[in-house]
Amino acid sequence: MKPLLPIVTLSLIFTPACALWDTDGPAASIAEDDYAAYAAQRSGTTEALDEMGISPSKRLSSDERDALGKRIQLKRLEKSISSEKEREQYFNFKSYLDNDDERVSFLMLPSFEARDRYAMQRGIYFKTNKYTPPVKDAVSKSDIILGMTRDAVIESWGEPITVEVAGNQLYGNERWKYVEFVSTAEGYQKEERVVIFESGKVVGWQRY
């Protein structure tokens, strides 16, 4: 009879725990409903259904299930965007991406730069951005680089104090002069800058 004692003891220990998981009771039913709603919200299902105008109780066709699955995947990817910079990039391009497949493909690219390249290849980058990423970066740092347009230089350095035009103005061959006061060890010093354009693009600059 001694071997039976552990079995009886274990039975007494686990009986109350099993009662807590009684699936026939109303409390369990409410808990399951709450968890299902919570899980649906976390997975993006609820938001996807709302966006697509599908009732949760509707029996879906095969095509509708596929479309819903793709929308749920998209909502998860959107929620996982890690930085404000990437979020701004995605929502700038989102309306130009034709469908959920394209948006998912875009978000699954491995980096910010790869997504910019994708947008350029699709021809949608310049619908939301005036400048290429290197020019945009230079403008943000009040700098200039080769190939910048006149508009970009003005955005970065402001209007020049003088403009010299070589030949017909339509050709865009110009020299722009700036005067700046820069901080040095001896105090503020006057610095002259000349930006040289050919065909409307920066081909060089000088500082004096």
Render pLDDT for 98-147 as a digit per residue (tens, 0 to 9). Answer: 999 999 999 999 999 999 999 999 989 988 888 888 998 899 898 999 99
Q: Which of 15-24, 134-143, 196-205 has the lowest mean pLDDT?
A: 15-24
In 10 A of CB 176, how many CB atoms? 21
Domain residue spans of the chain: 62-128, 133-207
Q: Is the pLDDT of residue 10 over 70?
A: no
Render pLDDT for 133-188 as a digit per residue (tens, 0 to 9). Answer: 899 889 989 899 999 999 999 999 999 999 999 988 888 899 999 998 877 788 78
Task: State the pLDDT at residue 190.
Answer: 86
Residue 135: exposed, middle, or buried by beta-carbon count in 10 A (0-12, 13-18, 19+)? buried
Residue 99: exposed, middle, or buried by beta-carbon count in 10 A (0-12, 13-18, 19+)? exposed
**CA distances (Å), 76 to each of 48, 108, 117, 174, 197, in order?**
10, 11, 23, 51, 47
How open is the CA angle 65-102-113, to the nearest 5 degrees?
A: 140
In 10 A of CB 125, how many CB atoms? 20
Q: Is the pLDDT of residue 32 over 90?
A: no
How open is the CA angle 31-32-34, to the nearest 5 degrees?
A: 65
Write phi, then psi, for 99 (nearest 5 degrees).
-155, 180
CATH number of 133-207: 3.30.1450.10
